[in-house]
């Protein structure tokens, strides 16, 4: 996939990729069974992209408005230690992350899909939306993925950052050998 040069320039600076969950890591559907247990679908290719990006030295974090044990489990499975849930005003968590990690806005990418994501999207170095996101939100992003949330959007962004950092071909060659 080809990306605009301006987007690649921004992506090259990224040290931390932050993700929303519902609508980004998932398709936005919340399934609750008769026992009240929540079920979410996660796309395995998104997980692979996350692992590759981590291997390239980019940290991954999650900031979600909702709390879900399923998300906690998936984050642990992927080695994502930066997990904030139940935070409706996500910007507070974002500012704390910047301070704690000594990062600047331009070193962070964020993928969001709804109004709660707007304050962060307006600040980060690389703001990303998804085609299945709430339409007004996508007016405030640098890039809208071709793949929808929950079906490859995260992987697309991981590949974008890997390509910008010159790592994508290296990883591909590793798996081809």
**Averaged pLDDT of the chain:** 97
pLDDT in tens, 115-126: 999 999 999 999
Domain residues for 98? 5-176
Number of domains in the chain: 1
pLDDT tens sequence across 76-97: 999 999 999 999 999 999 999 9
* CATH code of residue 95: 3.40.50.1000
pLDDT value, residue 1? 84
- Alpha-carbon distance of 30 to 9, in angstroms, equals 36
CB-based contacts of 42-46 (< 8 A; 24+ apart in sequence)? 42/74, 42/150, 43/150, 43/151, 43/152, 43/154, 43/155, 45/152, 45/155, 46/150, 46/152, 46/153, 46/154, 46/155, 46/158
Confidence class of residue 110 from pLDDT cuts 50, 70 and 90? Answer: very high
pLDDT mean over 148-156: 98
- For residue 129, pLDDT beyond 90: yes
Supply the pLDDT for residue 127.
Answer: 98
Portion of the chain with pLDDT greater than 90, in percent? 98
For residue 161, the model assigns a pLDDT of 98
The pLDDT value given to residue 71: 97
């Amino acid at each position: 996939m080809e990306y605009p040069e301006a987007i690649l320039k921004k992506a090259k600076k990224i040290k931390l990729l932050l993700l929303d969950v519902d609508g980004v890591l998932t398709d936005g559907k919340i399934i609750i069974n008769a026992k009240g247990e929540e079920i979410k679908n996660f796309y395995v290719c998104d997980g692979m992209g996350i692992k590759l990006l981590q291997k390239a030295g980019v940290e991954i974090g999650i900031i979600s408005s909702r709390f879900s044990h399923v998300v906690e489990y998936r984050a642990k499975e992927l080695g994502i230690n930066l997990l904030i849930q139940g935070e409706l005003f996500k910007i507070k968590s974002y500012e704390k992350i910047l301070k704690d990690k000594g990062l600047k806005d331009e070193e962070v990418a964020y993928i969001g899909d709804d109004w709660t994501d707007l304050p962060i999207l307006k600040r980060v170095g690389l703001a990303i939306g998804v085609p299945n996101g709430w339409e007004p939100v996508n007016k405030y992003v640098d890039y809208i993925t071709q793949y929808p949330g929950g079906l490859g959007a995260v992987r697309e962004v991981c590949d974008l950052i890997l390509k910008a950092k010159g790592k994508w071909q290296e990883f591909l060659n590793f798996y081809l050998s």
